[in-house]
Structure 1
């Protein structure tokens, strides 16, 4: 009895699995747990017969002094543990790489028969090669056994989920295959050298490369070049097993994506875990018809959010299922109308977009009272008008109140007051945000309304079994929205000044002998940084009043909401750290990626 295999686990597999688990632990969802558990059961069940055959026929062996000699179907228990640990490591890497994906947007809307058929043909050829190697015996036996065991599984996976595999970004599928495979190659090289396991040399190929014996060819430049042929066969084993694991995970996500798509289309979410599982199975057995227009709308909304608001995108990634899609559509609508107004050539065009947005909302909420649609003035506006119509059409109005949407438009009308003020009025200090109550009113219109919409969506999706004081939560949401808007204003003082806007209350400026015109003239002055600090103080005060309400939210959304808000507040802290330079760049200040990840990790805890 020996402990070499146990030491191998303690050196390589257990630390890797533990570190990945600790890193990902705050982001675990029930779906992740089900996915990893399901894959582990399949991996162990599928590998035991094959591994047992190898051991019983002397192809694969373990020295008696390397294990505890406790077996399952002749397989050492340490080896069974390896199946679980490898599957867990690969699954965790996949979960990390695919966390930000909005699964329904990757559902295929066009057939991928050519890719499916070519991939299937290649796999059939590999299976045929495996059969030839196995039947021929001798040096190709082990290679043949790997291929005839693994390729049929991969063929089945490929035929079922190849459309989804092809449509997913490579960053979600390639790293979970490549990284664990390379890591296990390194670990396997060490295990082979230590004699933890071995492969019968008679079942290996005697191949020479460039006239050199592969059995042992040292190279001073590459640690992989001195691997013997046994290790090369193991490299193939780890590669194909990781492909099977990742394809299995993708298949699980494919079924979940189709179930989410059905929920989005019908608006009926599963009320229990059992209903959710039933919906996933039904989607897998009877896939829904995918509408290209719906997928396109979702893809554009996600791209818009990713480009315009990193904090909101990171926050949305922490939600799962239909609620995340609803939130994305709300954020996308806000972004579309905001951009249309900010980028308008003149006040008349901006007023047109507000009126058109109000008309579109009326058409959805009260279709019987729909007024005639005004004709777009130019073809360019017609393209923008279509964009606005789609943004309104995708709003989940059946699951949230509509009054906050109209209040949001009032906030945009306050923005237009800047363009109506004459230059002489600006120099006299007559700006829409004259006092702190004006700032509060503006922040309520443009930010508290969004917070109210988000809370109502969360209430719709998660409040079936978790009760809380809805009025108190709504008040806290309004305070939180105002806090986040103050951070926005503090960050964008110089960017707003470039378009003739100063959201700092005129009374604040007057206390220091300044006017809004002074900020317009020099938005990067020490006075501007002083005003930035005061806005951040106000934001932190509002946040302090409301942050306790987050802990009363349902467990499923408490962490994501906390993280989303903390991501915004972290921008304020970042601005304080960069005092003297945060207003110097023309670009919007963004948190570094590492800092965003840290905030998300702490917030989800």
Structure 2
């Protein structure tokens, strides 16, 4: 794979997710390369559907047909899994990573289904609806990342998915106002009604105090998924465990910051300072090392947590006990 493509993948993650970029540096070189390539493909698909470049609008771009773009991505993804030659660099990288690490095709197609939810203007009435979206845009990314790290057992994949769900709940809380300004809302409509916020007034500054309570609720609901994800750390190679534990710490801290800021959570984008990141990376190292001492047994996953599709036969989909 060309050095230029690797440079592009590195720039993609640094622009698209500075929080994960810091943790990604902790992977061993081979794993980091595959992780960056997978992230670049995810970013590429997102940009293609939205008609953007690295998450930004392109000045002077032609009118965009998101549905047609998504159909092309679906076709290319299926061709990549079929071993067809890939001209697009992002898909050439994805093909190598997906086939080399035996990433289940269903995971990649489920990810594209998340973009379809945006294209179709999906609405989210309940927390389960929001979690279903979180699964498609982030939970399956956790599944694909875990596959790169050599984890293919369902119990470990469940924990990887849980971390993706927690990440996305945190992202939704952080980006509520920004998303609303783009005409998108992933917060359960039930919660907005309970808070007295009309769907078309989410970004209205008058509702900041009420919206802060909604965001805090999202952050609180992310916590059991962050906790569940910890149980999967021991199943990963040490450096991968360090990277993932650190990413968990960084994202979780963003949620804590959003909750702490209250009505001022959206005055500026919540993030973590360099000093805080270093502390959280050190804390991640301690978690990774400690997981080597925890023994082979993995504690049972809480039955109340939302269950990813495809696992219903092994663990019935719960009615989400924390949805109240």
Q: TM-score range by the shorter chain?
A: 0.7 to 0.9
User: Aligned partners of 2:142, 2:50: CA distance in 1, in Å?
Assistant: 21
Q: Specify which of 43, 46, 59 is matched with residue 335 of structure 1.
A: 43
Q: Which residue of 1 aligns with 2:216?
A: 533
Give unmatched runs, 5+ long, in structure 2: 53-60, 287-324
2:195 and 2:214 in contact (8 A); partners too: no
User: Aligned partners of 2:223, 2:271: CA distance in 1, in Å?
Assistant: 19
Q: What is the CA-CA distance between 1:341 and the residue it aligns to?
A: 2.6
2:211 and 2:263 in contact (8 A); partners too: no
Q: State the number of aligned residues.
A: 274
Q: Which residue of 2 aligns with 1:390?
A: 89
1:523 and 1:583 in contact (8 A); partners too: no
Q: What is the CA-CA distance between 1:591 and the residue it aligns to?
A: 1.2
Paired residues for 1:490-529 under 5 Å: 490-522=173-205, 525-529=208-212
Q: What is the CA-CA distance between 1:551 and the residue it aligns to?
A: 2.9
User: Aligned partners of 1:517, 1:491: CA distance in 2, in Å?
Assistant: 18
Higher relative contact order (CA 8 A, sep 6+): 2
Structure possessing the higher radius of gyration over alpha carbons = 1
RMSD of equivalent CA atoms: 2.4
User: Aligned partners of 2:128, 2:23: CA distance in 1, in Å?
Assistant: 29
Residues 579, 558 of structure 1: alpha-carbon distance in 2 compared, 3 angstrom cutoff:
same
Q: Which residue of 1 aligns with 2:263?
A: 580
Paired residues for 1:193-208 under 5 Å: none
User: Aligned partners of 2:68, 2:165: CA distance in 1, in Å?
Assistant: 27
User: Aligned partners of 1:542, 1:363: CA distance in 2, in Å?
Assistant: 34
Q: Deviations over 1:412-457 (max 9, x none)?
A: 1111233xxxxxxxxxxxx611211111110111111000001111
Q: Which residue of 2 aligns with 1:363?
A: 79
Q: Specify which of 436, 439, 442 is matched with residue 133 of structure 2.
A: 442
Given the alignment of the two structures, is residue 597 of structure 1 paired with residue 290 of structure 2, yes or no? no
2:28 and 2:239 in contact (8 A); partners too: no
Q: What is the CA-CA distance between 1:558 and the residue it aligns to?
A: 1.8
2:197 and 2:207 in contact (8 A); partners too: no
Q: Deviations over 1:296-346 (max 9, x none)?
A: 111111011111111211111001121110000111111122233334689
TM-score of the two chains, using structure 2 as the length reference = 0.78
Q: Secondary structure at the match of 1:566?
A: helix
Q: What is the CA-CA distance between 1:411 and the residue it aligns to?
A: 0.5
User: Aligned partners of 2:39, 2:160: CA distance in 1, in Å?
Assistant: 16
TM-score of the two chains, using structure 1 as the length reference = 0.43
1:491 and 1:589 in contact (8 A); partners too: yes
More helix by share: 1
User: Aligned partners of 1:437, 1:346: CA distance in 2, in Å?
Assistant: 37
Q: Specify which of 345, 348, 354 is matched with residue 70 of structure 2.
A: 354
Q: Deviations over 1:507-537 (max 9, x none)?
A: 1112233332221444862121111101100
Q: Secondary structure at the match of 1:449?
A: helix
1:494 and 1:524 in contact (8 A); partners too: no
User: Aligned partners of 1:524, 1:343: CA distance in 2, in Å?
Assistant: 31
